[in-house]
Structure 1
Amino acid sequence: MSTADPTSTTPGFPGGTAVTHLRVYDWPAADGLAGGSPHLHTASAEGYVVVRGEGTLETLSSAGFQETPLRPGSLLWFTPGTVHRLVNHSADLELLVVMQNAGLPEAGDAVLTYPPEVLADPDAYRRATAIPAATDFDSAAEAHAAMARAARERRDLAVDGYLTLRERVTAQGPAALHELYQAAVGLVRDRAAGWQHQWQRGPRAQAEATGTHLASLAAGCGDHLSSATVYTAPPAPGPPRNGMCGLLRVWDLDGARPLQ
């Protein structure tokens, strides 16, 4: 997922969102379930459309622990603070992910459910989360193996913290999430002020444009309709990359262009 260049006049994807194709990991975790890394978002809502396969979405939220079945055609979304874990039952679970506030999750809005001692140490958190760059290796095969290994290690560490947290939420209720939320705020607070710029240039600007259009229409003016344009964005180059929950194919929103 990407956010458009703030100096560009190209409008971002509708609603200031981003769309990613996700193939959920089929690696088994410590509890025998295959799937992705449990995490939460501090400022962004997230939506899923299941396009293939079957699985379960496990969540920890104000409703406690919940399991939601996933099958082709399933549509669901959740708000910031929802701890979510994708479980892959069919080895071919694929989704389209719609992410609010394009660019913020990549900027640190996503926080993994590592054990408390890692969440309390920003340097340890960064080391546990980092994925090596492909350019660090001599061959594509070596890079692929190393990146997958790092993604699986961080997934396993997040599952480790999540399983303990899930037990506490089941026993104590949603209040057991408080310490995780405090840790998440501590990890993102130094970046959050900078996120304002992305929000203003993306979702807020689009909402304000809609307000202007509605006011113009109510006054009997439709001048904005004469600038109607169709845009397209190319797939990001290279192979799918290792995300938190699986292999990601993204579109290069920075490279969006009008169709001629």
Structure 2
Amino acid sequence: MVTGPKPALPHPLPGAVGLSHLSAYDWEAADGVCGGSPHLHLVCTEAYVVTGGRGAVQTLSPDGYRDIPLEPGSIAWFTPGTVHRMVQGGDLRITVLMQNSGLPEAGDAVFTFPPEVLADPEKYAAAAALPPGTGPDTAAAARRRRDLAVEGYLILREALADSDNGPYREFQRAAARIVRDKVPTWRALWRAGAVAAAERTGAQLDALAAGEPAYLDEATAYEATPTRRGGFGMCGRRDEYALPGTTLPYRGE
């Protein structure tokens, strides 16, 4: 067996993908459904890879409302602007893959709060924030946040069911206004992660075409384990990694 010092972690996961593991909330909401906080992403496609249990993901988009069953081995993904709500059906366990260097963890997510909350940046920030830690105060705040997001979500879903996409479109516009000031930071993260990963591949292809694969001398392997388990995410309890391009370091602890 070859042994030696473990390498550092200067590189992100393949393609600078974001990664976390989720166990869907089992809290019952006002409509009798157990699950997470409905929200959308502005510039990221997100995927759910189901590793255990049963459940569903409910989505709202220009093509209407969908209820997509989830079971072990199934994958569901949704493009920017799609409202999604994870539904617990029994021990649902999911690995989440996030585009663009983990930008969803840098704020690329807006909850479906009612219009009066979305219209006030201070009210929105207060409603979206959670206290640090994984204790009962954080759990209570996460549940209040989920309930408020479901309140606004049900308004959007009912309107779409009546063939009225006006409220949904206005929510998208409100979400864009909420995140606008974050775009410069996101652009820097995108360039350092997803763009840099693609550019490395381009440089490697150039080297192979020239018959000079010296970059292969840098070949190595990496490993990681979650740095926090059971954190409160948007959809459920979350296991997180402090790796470049995955879950960003959590604050306040």
Q: Work out whether the TM-score is over 0.5.
A: yes
What's 1:169 paired with?
160
Amino acid at match of 2:28: P
The alignment's C-alpha RMSD in Å is 1.8
Listed as ranges, the gaps of 5+ residues in structure 2 are 1-7, 247-253
Q: CA deviation at 1:106?
A: 2.3
The 8 Å contact of residues 60 and 174 in structure 1, kept in 2 or not, is answered as no
Distance 1:52 1:234, change over 3 A: closer
The 8 Å contact of residues 45 and 80 in structure 1, kept in 2 or not, is answered as yes
Q: In structure 2, what is the Cα distance between the partners aligned to 1:61 and 1:178? A: 9
Q: In structure 2, what is the Cα distance between the partners aligned to 1:58 and 1:28? A: 15
Q: In structure 1, what is the Cα distance between the partners aligned to 2:145 and 2:226? A: 26
Name the TM-score, length of structure 2 as normaliser.
0.90
Listed as ranges, the gaps of 5+ residues in structure 1 are 1-7, 135-142
What's 1:98 paired with?
97
Identical-residue share of aligned pairs (%): 49
Amino acid at match of 1:246: G
What's 1:139 paired with?
none
Pair 1:220 & 2:211 matched: yes
Secondary structure of the 1:37 match is: coil
Q: In structure 2, what is the Cα distance between the partners aligned to 1:126 and 1:227? A: 44
Count of aligned pairs between the two proteins: 239
Q: In structure 2, what is the Cα distance between the partners aligned to 1:221 and 1:62? A: 49
Secondary structure of the 1:162 match is: helix
What's 1:158 paired with?
149
Distance 1:9 1:247, change over 3 A: closer
Q: In structure 1, what is the Cα distance between the partners aligned to 2:9 and 2:242? A: 16
Q: Deviations over 1:209-237 (max 9, x none)?
A: 11111122122221111211101223214
Residue correspondence of structure 1 range 162-201 to structure 2 within 5 A: 162-172=153-163, 174=165, 176-201=167-192
What's 1:137 paired with?
none
Secondary structure of the 1:168 match is: helix
Q: CA deviation at 1:173?
A: 5.1
Pair 1:205 & 2:193 matched: no
Q: Deviations over 1:74-110 (max 9, x none)?
A: 01211111100011111x1000001112342222110
Q: In structure 1, what is the Cα distance between the partners aligned to 2:165 and 2:206? A: 43
Name the TM-score, length of structure 1 as normaliser.
0.87
What's 1:68 paired with?
68
Q: CA deviation at 1:178?
A: 1.2
What's 1:87 paired with?
87
